[in-house]
Amino acid sequence: MLSILLLPLLAILALAAPLESRAPKYNVTSMNEALKRGSGILGSYSKCSGSLCSWMSKVSDTTKITDMSIPGTHDTASWDYTLLKQLSYLKYTNIIYPSALYRCGTQSIFAQLAAGNRAFDLRVGFAPNGKDLVFFHSEALLDINARFEDVIQGFYRFLEENPTESLLISVKDENATWGTTQALQQSLYTTLTSSVAQSYVNPSTSISSTALSAVRGKMTILRRFALDQLSSSQQSLGIDLTNGWSDNNADFSLTTPSGDKVFIEDLYEPKADKIGLTPNVNLKLNATTTHISASSSKSKGDGLYITFASSEQAYQLLFPQVMAQGLIVPGVNQGLKKWLTTGQGKGLKKKGIVFTDFASETSGLVEAIIA
């Protein structure tokens, strides 16, 4: 009789065990505080919904990360850098270029994730207090409250709720106005190797043979900051892209200390022979599509291909949004989408990482990159 009475209780316990194993690996109180403090960059949190929240669930576990097509956002944190915000930070930055030169999107990070983006370009430096790591685009202070670790917590939240997905996070030391280089390196290292980070950050320093199954629910760090001022035991983290990055170059490569080959297009300031939007857009678009084609065919060799579809031409007032979206005439994004959907890029796979500006303003562009 007793065994019969215990059966319902045992059934309840059997069902309860998996729920405990799925409990978040982060501290809920700390997470909520981080999301609130980081909302100026992360945006308002809401659980991701829609088919693009889990698009990687349709990709085979055995697919190598370097053989995928992964949309991303260039200067991810700059999406809300408005003239009003720039004016409010004048006491820290003094007079700099117009805010439109630094702004590279209109969607918050949570919205970027919901739209299907899985690669993010974060650029950091110390806040004026010399203690908090915050976000910059060159000399532009993007938000004084949202800290680097807050945004990383936001990515943890997304991965916890979308465990089929994998993120690639590029982190660059962008501004050295405040604080010291050693302190910046230590802060980044500490955040990305903390006890909670160990549950979400891919520990490998190589990516060439990494299968998607190994990094579902995790982020891989593309490291564009050195660790040379730390102890020898702290000089290994992520995919090291610090040696050989070529400024404003349409076609270059580097080899990581782990032996990975990385092929990059980063012609961020095209200088066409003729003045005007169309010649500069055409120059940038050609560099972008040429590199995506190379990625698809692996014509330069096996490895990670990174393409920046982002650009500006400041002295002609061709700000990122103008280059991306055009002004009367089409911009890079419209040209890229057309090439991917009806042109020579149609049907291409293995496009690599493609970072864009203002992709949300060109409906279907992110989907065309994933396809």
**What is the spatial distance between Cα 138 and Cα 297, in angstroms, rounded to a whole number?**
34
Kindly calculate the radius of gyration of the chain based on its CA atoms and give it in whole angstroms.
21
Burial 110-139 (b: 16+ CB within 10 A, else e): bbbbbbbbbbbbbbbbbbbeeebbbbbbee
- pLDDT digit string (tens) for 274-326? 999 999 999 999 999 999 999 999 999 999 999 999 999 999 999 999 999 99
- pLDDT digit string (tens) for 198-233? 999 999 999 999 999 999 999 999 999 999 999 999
Better-scored residue on pLDDT, 245 or 1: 245
**What is the spatial distance between Cα 203 and Cα 221, in angstroms, rounded to a whole number?**
9
Q: What is the pLDDT at residue 12?
A: 37
Count the neighbouring beta carbons within 10 Å of the beta carbon of residue 341. 15
Mean pLDDT along residues 154-162: 98
- pLDDT digit string (tens) for 15-61? 333 333 457 889 999 999 999 999 999 999 999 999 999 999 999 99
* 282 and 272 Cβ atoms separated by less than 8 Å: yes
Q: What is the pLDDT at residue 14?
A: 39
How long a stretch of residues is the chain?
A: 371
340 pLDDT exceeds 80? yes
Q: Which residue matches tokens 């043979």?
A: 209
Residue 7 lies in a domain: no
Mean pLDDT along residues 171-198: 97
Residue 106 lies in a domain: yes
133 pLDDT exceeds 80? yes
Q: What is the pLDDT at residue 22?
A: 57
Q: How confident is the model at residue 4 (pLDDT cuts 50, 70, 90)?
A: very low
Count the neighbouring beta carbons within 10 Å of the beta carbon of residue 153. 26
DSSP category for residue 246: P
| Number of domains, the chain | 1
Residue 321 lies in a domain: yes
Q: What is the pLDDT at residue 23?
A: 72
11 pLDDT exceeds 70? no
Residue 183 lies in a domain: yes
Mean pLDDT along residues 133-159: 98
Q: How confident is the model at residue 8 (pLDDT cuts 50, 70, 90)?
A: very low
Q: What is the pLDDT at residue 24?
A: 82
Q: Counting beta carbons within 10 angstroms of the beta carbon of residue 361, is it exposed (0 to 12), middle (13 to 18) or buried (19 or more)?
A: middle
Contacting residues for 132 by C-beta, under 8 A, at least 6 apart: 126, 147
Burial 313-328 (b: 16+ CB within 10 A, else e): beeeebbbbbbbbbee
**What is the spatial distance between Cα 77 and Cα 107, in angstroms, rounded to a whole number?**
9
Q: How confident is the model at residue 266 (pLDDT cuts 50, 70, 90)?
A: very high
- Check the CA dihedral 60-65-66-69 and report its sign: positive
Residue 45 lies in a domain: no
Residue 47 lies in a domain: no
Residue 38 lies in a domain: no
Q: What is the pLDDT at residue 40?
A: 98
Residue 8 lies in a domain: no
In the beta sheet, which residues pair with residue 211?
64
**What is the spatial distance between Cα 264 and Cα 294, in angstroms, rounded to a whole number?**
10
Mean pLDDT along residues 175-183: 97
Element (H, E) at 173: strand 167-175
- pLDDT digit string (tens) for 40-50? 999 999 999 99
Domain of residue 125, CATH code: 3.20.20.190
Residue 161's domain comprises 63-370
